[in-house]
Structure 1
Amino acid sequence: MPSLLYAVALNPALPPDLLRHLLRAGDTDEELAQALADRPDLTPQQVRRLAGRDQGTAVRLAYGGLLRAPDVDPVTRPLVALALLDEGRGDPAWAGQLARNPDPYVRMRLGSCPGLPDGAADLLAADADTEVLGDLGLHTDRADLLVRLAGNPDAEVRRWVAANEAAPAGLLTTLLTDPDVRVRRQAAGNPTTPGAAAARHVDDHPMVRQQLSEHPGLPAHVYHQLAEDPAPWVRGNLAENPGVDPTLMHRLATDDGCDVRRRLAHHPAIPLDLLERLAVTVRIGPALLPRIADADPAELARLARSPEPRVRMLVARHRTLPAPVRDALADDPDAAVATSVAPHPGLAPTRLAALLDRFGTVLATAVAANPDAPTALLDRIATTEPVPAKALRAIAAHPHAGPEALTRCLASPDERTAEAAAANPALPSEVIAALVRGTWSGGTARPAGPGTSPRQAGETL
């Protein structure tokens, strides 16, 4: 029950009187208080009440935009003040105080806050804690501080400076010659490191070459040299590098490493003919590929007519297909293609029902994930035995889920399914009340007890 209580605390349909009950319960239940802190409809008084409970809850309220700078004392609540500074809504005057805070974690977190005043940054740059210096080195955009930190005797500090894309080009070039391989590695992969300087380290330590293979500005001949590297992770990084040319992509498409070919399929500029070849030689995974996402309508239509179902499946993962292409894929005889297109918005209820008729529970999860799936179809899936656990989970979070289906989801042994149902605003009001009052018994609302009104039962919280 506790996990369902935390979930129902997020339910947008929670009535004000039950919200007040949960706020009282949150006084002694930290997890419940933090769940309530994620609600966007809290009154200023309720926000102050939750913020006063503990610092963790106040931090959530700050990141959620509900807590204001005048409500925060940076001395007693430094982590809350940091959250507001991190969001750009804090008082810049706090930075100097926080830079002197005795807790090194507070000082370290301060170094990553945007718009850090110069005085606070200077204090952090003089800090004795190397973690504080490292975080400042990664995030500051002040060239003078970066040069200063790059001379620190601790390699960890220099490593974070080498990762900072705001570091001056000359400084990054110097860090490429650092005696510590970790520093050289970081500088080699920094996209703002001059490509010509980075290229001179193509024969460096394997760790350096691994990071170098991610650099987008190397000369073409260096990429071709890295394509011969014996380390598959070097070639794998290269396969996703936006700087490689189509000639090298064709070469990598024949690589012995299946992970290299899989990562090449995710390259945003891969030629479509090469992507079609890769689709039948490597398991690409369920994600929409960048090149497919950027394809124009004519390209999508051509790929959707491919005789190879694995190519059609790549197109079916697109979620803004032209209607004729979308509907044609929904009529595809291949179950994998149909599964990929079933969640596409805009599919008519009749087509969704036809998909379920043709493929049964194989497509239940994909159909239940469609944002336009009607209540009747979701009810049908929820009452089909056996219903796939993932399908029930999709129904539990669906805005069209009906009371009967949600009640069944709420009784699911799968915790995520039950929690999604408890947070669904379509959940019947009497069930929401029973969850708050602790009278829910996994399918029914128990009576509150003789002589006790439902309102009184809630008041005991």
Structure 2
Amino acid sequence: MNHVLCGLAANAALPSDLVDRLTAIADADIAAELARRADLGRAQALELASRVAESAVWLAYAGRLTAADVDPVAQPEAALALLDGGAGRPEWARLLAADPVVERREKLAACSALPPDVVETLAADSDARVVAELALWTTPEVAARLAGHPHAAVRRAVAANEATPPAVLAALLTGEGLPPARRCLVCDREGSPFVHDPHCSRLDCDLLPGASCDGSHESTVHDIRQAALRNPVTPTEAVVGFVDHPSLLLRWALAARPGLPSQVCEQLAVDPCPGVRADLAENPAIDDATIRVLAGDRDRGVRRGLAHNPHVPLDVLTGLAGAAKVGATLLPRIAAALPDEVEVLARSPDPAVRMLVAQRRDLPPATRDALAADPDAKVVKSVAPHPGLSEARLRAMADRHGVRVVARIAANPDATPALLEDLTRHGPSVRKALREVARHRRATAPALVACLTDGQARPLAARHPALPPSVIVELLADTDGQVAAAAAANPSLPLTVMSDLVSRL
């Protein structure tokens, strides 16, 4: 990969004539960048598509190519991209439904609004992978018919399709009313009984670890049930019987479902697996009684899940604040808090609670400023990126709490150029602050030069338009390809240098 030319191809300031010249010599890497250009002209798109086959797909998805521009025989992948976007021609679908390449028929099966005759052809395909892909995206009528397909992998796809009728999903979950499956991906490849080694060393093997078949296709049947349990359209009355199923994965899938009856939630709240309880804790379906049971759970992951539940009462959430360890996250219940609730939270004696409300970015000015003056560094760190904080207040926060808050201050959208420069000179140095400054729209040339000392901030600074042109040119020769590409993509790179780079080709 030529990192400099790839970066140059992405440069928003690259003149059209240089785009033409890059298009004429583009390889797949350069073409990938050119295809993403917002200013790519129609003639340039056609030239790029004719030169680099992969780019035709990207350009088709981006709407830069039309059906008139694509030959489905010479460019089947581009034709599939247009069909996938609803811009292809019906006759292409008929042509590709008979394509000898299975992967192309699979891609076609995932397209919407296919002609009925093409759907029938794909539903009768000899390769189960093609039929399964169709089953995953097809209409209710076709999904209902494919639920009785002899291959279990097709039924698993039907179980995951949210267009599948509820009664059919219930039948897939229990197996009642459907003929037994005759094949699965395991017995297609291996003689039964067979259990796939989780540490299989065969490079051409695509069976999942632990996949098994003793003639009953048990691992795929399990996957069908798991998919149906995760499908929100599956009737509640069909899923509740799995609350005490011996399979952990099935109980886990059940715990995340919306609309669970309270008695099922009560049983799952004492499930022996913490993961099941954690997913249940985050489920908006649980009632107040279950919430309060889970609030006392010994597992931190369960308490963290409950903290993310949008319906958790504020008194429970404030009790969880210190123990849940939610980190720098705006919780749903905090985001939905009413103005009077925000004020109560901001005045809480518990800094962990104040830290939660400090994550909001729409606080009233008085509340915001009070949190910025908080004696606890965790609270100040949370509120530091809040818009509207004055330079004086941001400096006071940095003086008072130092390295613990400097990086978050640097992320404040209203941080002034002078403040950003001072933050890059902070002693001791804060690497995360350099990365925030390097991406800040107000960063100055001196601040950006200082950011070049950090490996992760270096490519960010190299792309920043405020970096001096002379420094950008030097970075084109950087030993780190990511930095060189970022410098080449910098819109402040001198035009003469751009032209020179292309002229060397």
Q: Report the TM range for the smaller structure's normalisation.
A: 0.7 to 0.9
Q: CA deviation at 1:21?
A: 5.8
Output the CA distance in 2 between the equivalents of 1:349 and 1:399.
Answer: 16
Q: Which residue of 2 aligns with 1:187?
A: 228
- 1:101 counterpart = 2:91: no
Corresponding residue SS for 2:253: helix
Structure-1 residue corresponding to 2:183: none
Listed as ranges, the matches of 1:122-133 within 5 Å are 122-133=120-131
8 A Cα contact 1:12 1:425, kept in partner: no
The one of 395, 400, 417 equivalent to 2:457 is 417
Match of 2:491 in 1: none
Corresponding position of 1:336: 378
* Shift of residue 177, structure 1, vs aligned partner: 1.0
Cα separation, 2, equivalents of 1:378 and 1:355: 14
CA distance in 1, matches of 2:382, 2:19: 40
SS of the counterpart of 2:349?
Answer: coil
| Residue 44 of structure 1: aligned partner | 42
Tell me the distance in 2 between the aligned counterparts of 1:203 and 1:428.
65
Q: Partners in 1 of 2:48 and 2:239 — Cα distance?
A: 52
User: What CA deviation, in whole Å up to 9, does each residue of 1:36-76 have, x standing for no partner?
Assistant: 32221222233233333323333333333433343233332
CA distance in 1, matches of 2:421, 2:446: 7
TM-score (norm 2): 0.80
Structure 1 residue aligned with 2:243, among 197, 202, 206?
202
Conserved in 2, the CA contact under 8 Å of 1:18 and 1:433?
no
Which residue in 2 is equivalent to 1:27? 26
Q: Tell whether the 8 Å contact from 2:31 to 2:52 is kept in structure 1 after alignment.
A: no
Q: Secondary structure at the match of 1:148?
A: helix
- What's the counterpart of residue 115 of structure 2? 117
Shift of 1:407: 3.8
For 1:261 and 1:360, the matched residues in 2 are separated by 31
Please identify, of 147-156 and 273-282, the stretch whose mean Cα deviation from structure 2 is larger. Answer: 147-156
Work out whether residues 172 and 225 of structure 2, in 8 Å CA contact, stay in contact via their aligned partners in 1.
Answer: yes
2:155 to 150, 154, 158: 158
**Contact 1:210 / 1:237 at 8 angstroms: preserved in 2?**
yes
- Which of 338, 342, 345 is matched with 1:296 structurally? 338
Which residue in the other structure is 1:449 paired with? none
Q: Is 1:10 aligned with 2:10? A: yes
Residue 164 (structure 2) aligns with: 167
Any gaps of 5 or more consecutive residues in structure 2? 176-217, 488-495
Corresponding residue for residue 62 of structure 2 = 64
Partner SS state of residue 275, structure 1: helix
- Is the CA contact (8 Å cut-off) linking 1:72 and 1:81 kept in structure 2? yes
Displacement, 1:260? 1.1
Which stretch shifts more, 388-397 or 154-163?
388-397
Distance 1:419 1:58, change over 3 A: farther
Write the deviation string for residues 330-373 of structure 1: whole angstroms up to 9, x where unpaired.
Answer: 22222111111112223223322322222233323212222222
Q: Could you say if the C-alpha distance between residues 137 and 343 of structure 1 is closer, same or farther in structure 2, counting changes exceeding 3 Å?
A: same
Per-residue deviation, 1:235? 1.4
2:324 is aligned with what amino acid?
Answer: V
The answer to whether the 8 Å contact 2:236/2:260 transfers is: yes
Instruction: Decide which of 117, 126, 145 is 2:142's aligned counterpart.
Output: 145
Q: CA deviation at 1:327?
A: 2.2
Counterpart AA for 2:461: A
Letter in 2 for 1:343: P
Aligned-partner Cα distance in 2 for 1:55–1:293: 47
Give the percent of matched residue pairs that are identical in Structure 1 and Structure 2. 47
How far does residue 224 in structure 1 lie from its aligned partner after superposition?
Answer: 0.9
How far 1:267 sits from its partner (Å)?
A: 0.8
Q: Which amino acid in the other structure matches residue 27 of structure 1?
A: A
| Cα separation, 1, equivalents of 2:362 and 2:88 | 39
Matching of residue 459 in structure 1 with residue 503 in structure 2:
yes
Which amino acid in structure 1 is aligned with residue 12 of structure 2? P
Q: Which structure 1 residue ranges, 5 or more long, are not aligned?
A: 446-452
2:446 partner SS:
helix
The whole-number CA distance in structure 2 between the counterparts of 1:214 and 1:263 is 11
SS of the aligned residue for 2:51 comes to: coil
| Cα gap change, 1:232 to 1:439, in 2 (>3 Å) | closer
Contact (CA 8 Å) 2:45, 2:64: kept in 1 or not?
A: yes
CA gap of 1:76–1:429, structure 2 versus 1, over 3 A, is: farther
Q: Aligned in 2, Cα 1:118/1:287: closer, same or farther, shift over 3 Å?
A: farther
Contact 1:11-1:422 at 8 Å conserved across structures: no
Is 1:405 the equivalent of 2:450? no
- CA 1:168–1:421 in structure 2 vs 1: closer, same or farther (change >3 Å)? same
Aligned: 1:247 with 2:285: no
Task: Report if aligned partners of 1:175, 1:187 keep a CA contact under 8 Å in 2.
Answer: yes
Indicate the residue corresponding to 1:364 in structure 2.
406
Query: Amino acid of the residue matched to residue 188 of structure 1?
Result: L
**8 Å contact 1:7–1:422 — kept in the other structure?**
no
Please say if residues 22 and 502 of structure 2, whose CA atoms lie closer than 8 Å, have aligned partners that are also in contact: no
SS of equivalent to 2:286: coil
Secondary structure of the 1:344 match is coil
Give the Cα–Cα distance (whole angstroms) in 2 for the partners of residues 117 and 373 of structure 1: 57
Aligned residues: 447
Name the amino acid aligned to 1:420: L
The one-letter amino acid of 2:72's match is P
What is the correspondence of 1:267-306 to structure 2 with a 5 Å cutoff?
A: 267-306=309-348
Equivalent position of 1:135 in the other structure: 133
* Amino acid corresponding to residue 245 of structure 1 in structure 2: D
* Distance change (3 Å), C-alpha of 1:276 and 1:197: same
CA distance in 1: counterparts of 2:478 and 2:357, whole angstroms = 48
Question: Structure 1's 363 and 79: CA in aligned 2 closer, same or farther, altered over 3 A?
Answer: farther
Residue 254 of structure 1 deviates from its aligned partner by 1.0
- Aligned-residue CA RMSD (Å): 2.9
Asked whether the 8 Å contact 1:393–1:420 carries over to 2, the reply is yes
| CA displacement at 1:385 relative to structure 2 | 5.0
Give the CA deviation at 1:220.
Answer: 1.4
Q: Match of 1:377, as an amino acid? A: L
Counterparts of 1:227-238 in structure 2, within 5 Å, are: 227-238=269-280
Residues 363-382 of structure 1 mapped to structure 2, 5 A cutoff: 363-382=405-424
